[in-house]
Structure formats: C-alpha cells, structure tokens
Amino acid sequence: MADLNLQEIRDTLVVVAHEAGRMILSANPTDISQGTKLNSTDIVTETDKAVEDHVSKRLSEAYPSFAFVGEETYKPGVQVTAAPTFIVDPIDGTNNFVHAFPHACISLGFAVDHVPTIGVVYNPYLDQLYSAIRGQGAYLTEGAIWGLEGGQGRRTKLPFSKHPPALAGLDTTLVAIEWGAARDGPNFELKTEVFKRLAASKENGGSIVHGFRSLGSAALNLCAVAAGQLDIYWEGGCWAWDVCAGWAILAEAGGIMAGGNPGVWNPRVDDRKYLAVRGAPSGQKEIVEEFWKVIGDKKLDYDS
C-alpha cells in the first residue's frame, strides 16, 4: 500500500461523489424503468445505472490499473480480490430515492488486500459527505456544495463525542436493522425472530434495546454508527458495495465490524453478514457477544 497515494484517491472520490450527487438530485426519483431484481422491493432505476456508468468511467480513466466492483455490473459469484479495488454503490438507499425520501447516498469504497481502506459516502439531499482514509481519521463535511465555510464545508471529526460513553449492554443501545429485499425463507424468519428478541422486555427473555432505526441505507447506517448516533447495526443480505466505504469510515471512528453470525470476528468485505459497533472506551467485545447470544444457534446464510 506504500506506493498508493491514498489522499489523492480520496480527493478524486470526493469530486466524483459530488458529480454523482448532482445526477441523483436532478433525476426523476419515481422512474423505476429498469425494473426489479429479487422481488418488487429490490428496485433498480436508470439513475442507478447512469451514476454507476459515470463513476466507473471516471475512476477507470483516473486509475486504469485498479479493479472495479459495482452493484449494477456485478456478476454473481465474482469475489473481491486482494487487488486495489473500487467497490461502489451508485445509489445506496434506492427505495428511498424512488420514494423521494431524502436518505440515500453514493457509496465509494476502496479496498486493498480485502481491507476497506478509503470510504466516501455522500448524501446529496443534505450535502453531507462522510470520508475516511485508513490511519488518517474519519470526518463529516457538511455544506461544501452549499457554500458553507467558503465552499470548504463544515468539517467534524468522527465520532462526534470526544469521549464516547462505554457500551454497557444491549438495553442501552439504539440499533439499526434492515429488512432487506428477501421477505420470506429462513433468513427472513431468523431476522424477524432476532428483532423480536432484541425489542422484548427482560421479563419476556428479551434485550429491551432502546429502539430500532431502519432507514434503508447500509452505508448511511455505518456512518451513523461511526458518528456515535447509533450504537449497533446488524444486517445480513447486503453486499460489499453497501458496506465497503462505510466500513472504512466506521473503523477510523473507533468502531468495529464483526460478523453477522456468532463467532465471526473478522468478516470479509463481501461476507454479506455484518455486525457493526460504535467506538467506545470499553464494552465493544462484550456487546458483540451479547448480541450473538440473541441470535442463538441458527445462522444467516447468503450466496456471494
């Protein structure tokens, strides 16, 4: 990695993210002319494809030797290699985009040796850009396009709190969950059961978490965990392009990414089962193990 100019790559990703943001804001969000994938919830729009085409062209021109994995051009069974790879979701939160719900983003990740190394996640609706370079911290920049701070935007280091509180147990947490596209079968049944156990009172054997947030974007979920606004995010079924950028940002904000199934401490970027925990002075390992106990003996299972 020594010969990679990570700062230059990040800066390029920020410019491309702003270009993609303008494409998202100028698109007709109700146009789902490209149809759906798994079922009626798994929507693809022509904007998804147009944004990915633009991003792929810009990045292959700037870095022709790097690999590219994108949601709309991905071929089932293709694994992320150890080569420097851009891992891109053109619109993460497509269902929000289609419904004109202002919680979607362009997610531009860069992985080296399977490790999420650079992350740029941009929500154009709010002009909020989250970014991180491995070893150089994670930041939120707000209002750069809107002209704040002379066009530089207001920059805040993540997590927001300089002294994040210890993690003291699931009953003190705000948890991001997602239903995902699959709405039947054993994965859906296990998710539904785990959600119920997490929410239920202790008297009924539950964890009584403070609450759930299901906002439809894995990348923005990870950024909220990185910021310390959410404590945990658990999902099975999303993909490397949903999490790569947010994972780099989470890691640089002191967070950890464990596996979405019990016992997996070091998931691959394309594992498709994830458990993200915010940065904290103590309690991360313990809360992962407490969460895994809630999952029990069954396991989430997805093809790559």
**In 10 A of CB 149, how many CB atoms?**
12
In the complex, minimum distance from the CB of residue 37 to ligand LIP, in angstroms, rounded to a whole number: 9
Positions marked active-site: 71, 89, 91-92, 94, 242
In the complex, minimum distance from the CB of residue 302 to ligand LIP, in angstroms, rounded to a whole number: 12
In the complex, minimum distance from the CB of residue 276 to ligand LIP, in angstroms, rounded to a whole number: 11
Q: Which among 231, 214, 211 has a CA at the least distance from the CA of 178?
A: 214
The verdict on 119 binding ligand LIP (CB under 6 A) reads no
The verdict on 270 binding ligand LIP (CB under 6 A) reads no
From residue 194, give the alpha-carbon distance in Å to each of 62, 247, 265, 296: 44, 23, 19, 9
Which one among 70, 84, 93, 254 touches ligand LIP, defined by CB under 6 A? 93
The verdict on 45 binding ligand LIP (CB under 6 A) reads no
Bridging pattern class, strands 232-236 and 85-92: unpaired
Question: What H or E segment, with its residue span, contains residue 116?
Answer: strand 115-123
Q: Rounded to the nearest 10 degrees, how much is the dihedral formed by the CA atoms of 118, 123, 128, 133?
A: 0
Pick between residue 80 and residue 280 the one whose CB is nearest to ligand LIP. 80
The verdict on 118 binding ligand LIP (CB under 6 A) reads no
Q: Which among 211, 194, 199, 197 has a CA at the least distance from the CA of 273?
A: 194
Pick between residue 153 and residue 216 the one whose CB is nearest to ligand LIP. 216
**Using CB under 6 A as the criterion, which residues of the chain lie in contact with ligand LIP when the complex forms?**
71, 89, 91-94, 178, 180-181, 217-218, 235, 238, 242
